[in-house]
Amino acid sequence: MRIPTLILGGTGYVAGELLRLILDHPHFELCGIVSDSQPGSAAAEAFSHLAPRLGDQSFMDEAGAISLVCKHPRLAILSAAPHGVSASLIDRLLNAAHQAGTQPRVVDISADYRYRSPEAYAAVYQHAHGAPARLKDFTCALPEHLAVAPTPHVAHPGCFATATLLASVPLLALGLSEPLLFVSGVTGSTGSGRKPVAGTHHPQRHSDLYSYNPLMHRHIPEITECATAASGVSAEFAFVPHSGPFARGIHVTVQGSLSSAMRGKLSPQDALIAIRQYYADAPFVTVTDNPPRLKDVVASNHARLSVATRGNTIAVMCVIDNLTKGAAGGAVQWLNRLFDLPETTGLLASAPGWT
């Protein structure tokens, strides 16, 4: 059975990656792309690399989306709408579905449903939540850290959060480290979105590397909340993000002190085995003997991790593609689960390698 699929926020980089994945998915079928800024225009004009597959598909407005939500008894919704916009848009669509007697399932990639309370969201984004009563219908977690979502809809963590959580949750859940973790991450320019700004302008970013918002990044509360839920341990994260001179990918190093129970007992090989076993049932996570490289994962839904120890220090390195595993791919992975499909469906393609 082909499941009709609606994409919200249709002109950004993440939306383009969602389109690439859905157009080749064996069970989800694109039925509409919503763009408030470009309704009626050809989707292929925004995503020329997908033109052969998009054909004459055009962006639609919210009214068109409501029509689809009311028409299809089963509908998949993937939201790449901006923070502050996604919550109220999803709420209106779900209200329309309720009145029509249909039951869409939603995966939101914005930050709007990542927090458990409207107050926590407002503290980070400095504006009121767009649909606070709807928060109870969403769970925020990585598929690798939650076997079954207890809610009908899911919020996918951000790209930096995805890489950091993959690296840090085993340290906390297995009691390998103290609950104070130091994180250094480097992201590609696509992580800043499609709209050009000074920080992503090519002449400024090319051949350069610099930190931004050190120890103040907005993903810190999200990482803390998700890590606590996944590991059962309340931890503190000191996070310093960096802008890298490449388009796609994230490299994160999470470093901490061995827990008192592990000091003098945990060899590098023991640490490697422990984290490898932790992700033994995670099809998209590979724990390698050598430090991971971005080119091994870019443009794929795969993540690679490695671990090092020396004395009382432990470090876990993680690489992902920010647009795929950190956003669109992780969202489709969740969508597969919500519709009782194998989570790997449509996502097993390897990285190109020489990007």
Stretch 76-98: mean pLDDT: 97
The radius of gyration of the chain from alpha carbons, rounded to an integer in Å, stands at: 20
Q: How far apart are CA 277 and CA 56, in angstroms?
A: 47
Residue type, 344: T
Q: How far apart are CA 45 and CA 71, in angstroms?
A: 28
Q: Tokens representing 177?
A: 């480290």
Q: How far apart are CA 209 and CA 206, in angstroms?
A: 8
Domain covering 160-321, topology: Dihydrodipicolinate Reductase; domain 2 (3.30.360)
User: Residue 127's pLDDT band (boundaries 50, 70, 90)?
Assistant: very high
Q: How far apart are CA 273 and CA 289, in angstroms?
A: 10
State yes or no: pLDDT of 202 exceeds 90: no
Q: Over the stretch 143-182, which tens digit does the pLDDT of each residue have?
A: 999 999 999 999 999 999 999 999 999 999 999 999 999 9
Confidence (pLDDT) at 193: 72
Write the secondary structure of the chain as one string of H (helix), E (strand) and C (coil).
CCEEEEEECCCCHHHHHHHHHHHCCCCEEEEEEECCCCCCCEHHHHCHHHHHHHCCCECECHHHHHHHHHHCCCCEEEECCCCCCHHHHHHHHHHHHHHHCCCCEEEECCCCCCCCCHHHHHHHHCCCCCCHHHHHHEEECCHHHCCCCCCCEEECCCHHHHHHHHHHHHHHHCCCECCEEEEEEEECHHHHCCCCCHHHCHHHHCCCCEECCCCCCCHHHHHHHHHHHHHCCCCEEEEEEEECCCCCCEEEEEEEEECCCCCCCCCHHHHHHHHHHHCCCCCCEEECCCCCCHHHCCCCCCEEEEEEEECCEEEEEEEECCCHHHHHHHHHHHHHHHCCCCCCCCCCCCCCCCC
Confidence (pLDDT) at 274: 98
Confidence (pLDDT) at 151: 98
Higher pLDDT, 11 or 303: 303
Q: How far apart are CA 331 and CA 194, in angstroms?
A: 19
State yes or no: pLDDT of 1 exceeds 90: no
In this structure, the strands spanning 303-310 and 285-287 are parallel
What are the sequence ranges of the domains in the chain?
Answer: 3-140, 160-321
β-bridge mates for residue 184, sequence order: 240, 253
Confidence (pLDDT) at 190: 86
Could you confirm whether 318 is annotated as catalytic? Answer: no
State yes or no: pLDDT of 203 exceeds 90: no
Q: Over the stretch 307-323, which tens digit does the pLDDT of each residue have?
A: 999 999 999 999 999 99
Mean pLDDT of the chain: 96
Q: Over the stretch 23-73, which tens digit does the pLDDT of each residue have?
A: 999 999 999 999 988 999 999 999 999 999 999 999 999 999 999 999 999
State yes or no: pLDDT of 343 exceeds 80: yes
- Domain 3-140: CATH architecture, name and number where available: 3-Layer(aba) Sandwich (3.40)
State yes or no: pLDDT of 206 exceeds 90: no
Confidence (pLDDT) at 204: 81
Distance of CA 74 to the CA centre of its chain: 24
Q: How far apart are CA 340 and CA 13, in angstroms?
A: 27
Exactly one of 31, 159, 226, 318 is catalytic; which is it?
A: 159
User: Residue 10's pLDDT band (boundaries 50, 70, 90)?
Assistant: confident
Distance of CA 160 to the CA centre of its chain: 8
Q: Tokens representing 116?
A: 């458990």
- Please report, rounded to a whole number, the percentage of residues in the chain having pLDDT higher than 90: 93
Q: Taking every pair of C-alpha atoms in the chain, what is the biggest distance, in angstroms? A: 64
Q: Which of 9-13, 16-20, 329-333, 337-341 is predicted least confidently?
A: 9-13
Residue type, 258: L
Confidence (pLDDT) at 354: 87
